Amino acid sequence: MMHHRVFSILRNSNYIRLNSVSSNASLSTTSIAKTSNSKRYIPRRAVLYVPGSDDRKLKKIPSLGADCIVMDCEDGVALSKKETARSKIHHVLQSQEIDFTGKDCSVRFNSVESGLCEADMVEILSAKHLPSTVHLPKVDSPEHLEWFTEKLKLAMKDHSTPEKLRLIIFIESAESLLSLPSICRRGIELSKDAPFDLDGIVFGSDDFCADIGATRTNEARELSFARQYIVTVAKAFKLQAIDLVYIDYKDLDGLRLQSEEGAGMGYTGKQVIHPGQVPVVQKAFSPQAEKVEWAAALVQAFEQHQKEGKGAFTFRGHMIDMPLLLQARNILQMASHI
């Protein structure tokens, strides 16, 4: 059981998301508070896709343990079932008969280039109740986001919601990888006036491999550059980064290793394709109890030194600097939302 001190710090923490701090910033609570973002943080450790056309799987949603449930119109749905998927997802949202408590209720539309995205948006977003998050696959350019924004405004014109939709974009081609900083920058700009906030990036590894002609393997060495680049850009824009699918869903040991590797790179979550993968992934992307205790103790020590008017100090044998303090607060942020 965690020490009471940890829970006290978690309850009192109002640092929802940390933005970058310049290297010459003073190590003070005030300077960190100014960099925080008040947007509510939604954990997405495991992102599980449920075909929107499949009643049986949709009805299982309340029993699924994933942080983020994606009712899918895209890859998980046959072309002949696209209209069915739209209709069923609309019904789920309209009726509220499926319980999403503790889960990010989200929908993945078809891509802009598919010619199906607008129809998805019009029907699904005409429901009385909206999803928390929408996913847009195969975003290859800023222009795709501009098109999406205009269509979303039309689809949402009759809705008045207290909170914007969260938008998760998918990077699935060489073109999109090279354009990623421009895509993110444009997404942030559009968020100012659009009915969405850009919230995260998903690495669509299988389509990416097909696009560049790579051979997909469990070890994913062929994807090392793309994985590292995507998480780097995501963090530069303060976005969540969702890692690739582990394709052998029965190999839980391999899944655990790849999940721990992704978490070590800085990814905040991972896509899963089978409910059996969820517990392994959720654990890998959760702060360990001893790490939370370390973070809470470090923050408490820092705040005590600030009260005493002291500057730099050592903690458990390490000189404390801004990166370590930010790391500690990020750990507490995640722990407070799980």
Distance of CA 249 to the CA centre of its chain: 21
Please state the three-class secondary structure of the chain as a single string: CCCHHHHHHHHHCCCCCECCCCCCCCCCHHHHHHHECCCCCCCCCEEEEEECCCHHHHHCHHHCCCCEEEEECCCCCCHHHHHHHHHHHHHHHHHCCCCCCCCEEEEECCCHHHCCHHHHHHHHCCCCCCCCEEEECCCCCHHHHHHHHHHHHHHCCCCCCCCCEEEEEEECCHHHHHCHHHHHHHHHHHHCCCCEEEEEEEECHHHHHHHHCCCCCCCCHHHHHHHHHHHHHHHHCCCEEEECCCCCCCCHHHHHHHHHHHHHHCCCEEEECCHHHHHHHHHHCCCCHHHHHHHHHHHHHHHHHHHCCCCCCEECCEECCHHHHHHHHHHHHHHHCC
Strands 314-315 and 318-319: what pairing?
A: antiparallel
Query: What CA–CA distance (Å, rounded) separates 286 from 269?
Result: 9
Q: Which of 55, 99, 248, 321 is catalytic?
A: 321
Residues 6+ apart with CB under 8 A from 12: none
Question: Whose structure tokens read 């069923």?
Answer: 88
Give catalytic status of residue 253 as yes or no.
no
Residues contacting residue 203 through CB under 8 Å, at least 6 positions apart:
170, 171, 223, 226, 227, 230, 241, 242, 243, 244
Active-site residues, by number, are: 321
